[in-house]
Chain A
Amino acid sequence: MEIKVLKDILSANDQIAERNRALLDSKKVTVLNVMSSPGSGKTSLILETIRALKKKVSIGVIEGDIASTIDAQKVGEEKVPVVQINTGGECHLDAGQVSRALESLPLDKIDLLLIENVGNLVCPGEFKLGEDKKVLILSVPEGDDKVYKYPLLFSMADAIVISKIDLLPYAKFDVPGFCQAVRGINRKAKIFQVSCTTHQGIEEWTEWVRSSIRR
């Protein structure tokens, strides 16, 4: 006997993501899911964002890593609530892990939740967490040819941040060409150029983050 199923394999994850979304909506928390390959500067951008906004906005952070608490310690030094998730080998965060992490955060006091996903340009795209916006970082040394190599994430992102732009004089990275390629598969994404070393572009970025906050 044949049973028609026609159900998305990740529908269980999607359902948990929707529950996370409903909880976060009820607490008026805005959530950014920050994704990139390892070493593109997710933690650095999160730290810059906290430093720029923490006096005006109450921020919480979820750190996702395969192992270690290095990132959570760095974020904790900024005196904001932070929860570390160790996926123990899994290449992405899933909605269930985030749901458990949310239990440890003072959601009533948080306006902005920054989720740092596991460093990976493939898998995190498939797993919704309950976020408002997806942020994708690509650093200058990674090269400008990544849009069509990882089209799924680039097509989904609400904001794309080119990081480490202080390295533009040393690396071949065609910024206009990259932006054109992004526009080819994603019309809505805002594109930012930042350096966490020289702080160039950080203000424009944090202004966008601030304008995304609902509270």
Chain B
Amino acid sequence: MHEMAVTQSMVDLVLDEARKGGARKVKSINLVLGELSGVVGDCVQFYFGLMSKDTIAEGATISFNTVATQAKCRQCAKVFEVQESNWICPECHSVGVELVAGNELFVESIEVE
């Protein structure tokens, strides 16, 4: 829902890193997106087209690595993937978890020249 703000921050971050690395052009961006972040890749792609215009990142491809939501059971320590909003431990069937993955939202790397 907040892809405009997220994409603007991403463009700023990418341009900053590219500049520090002395790049002339950003060819690709590797993004890591957790399911729970609520960020929709298609929207990021759309805003990126607008926001990267006339920068060295214009035309760069974005690859999205989506991270599934993972929880760790507080009872038996089983780590499991949360599917269809089912947060009950598949091992011991108890309710009560810690979130271990799924809210990622970071730039892993960029490919520049």
Chain A residues engaging chain B, CB cutoff 8 angstroms: 1-13, 90-92, 94, 120, 122-123, 126-127, 148-149, 151-152, 155, 180-181, 183-185, 187
Contacts and interface: CB of A to CB of B under 8 A. Distances in A.
A5 B15 CA distance: 11
Given A1-B23, A1-B111, A2-B109, A151 B2 contact: no
In terms of DSSP, what is the predominant structure of the interface of chain A?
Answer: mixed
A181 B13 CA distance: 37
Contact of B2 (A1, A123, A155): A123
Given A1-B21, A94-B5, A10 B95 contact: no
B12 interface: yes
Contact of A11 (B13, B96, B99, B108): B13
A148 B18 contact: no
B110 to A, nearest CB: 5
Contact of B4 (A3, A7, A90): A90
B9 A9 contact: yes
In terms of DSSP, what is the predominant structure of the interface of chain B?
Answer: mixed
A123 B106 CA distance: 16
B2 A126 contact: yes
Interface in B1-44: 1-2, 4-6, 9-10, 12-14, 17-18, 21, 23, 31, 36-38
A107 to B, nearest CB: 26
Identify the interface centre among B2, B4, B9, B99: most chain A CB within 10 Å of its CB.
Answer: B2
A10 B21 contact: no
A166 to B, nearest CB: 29
Contacts of B69: 151
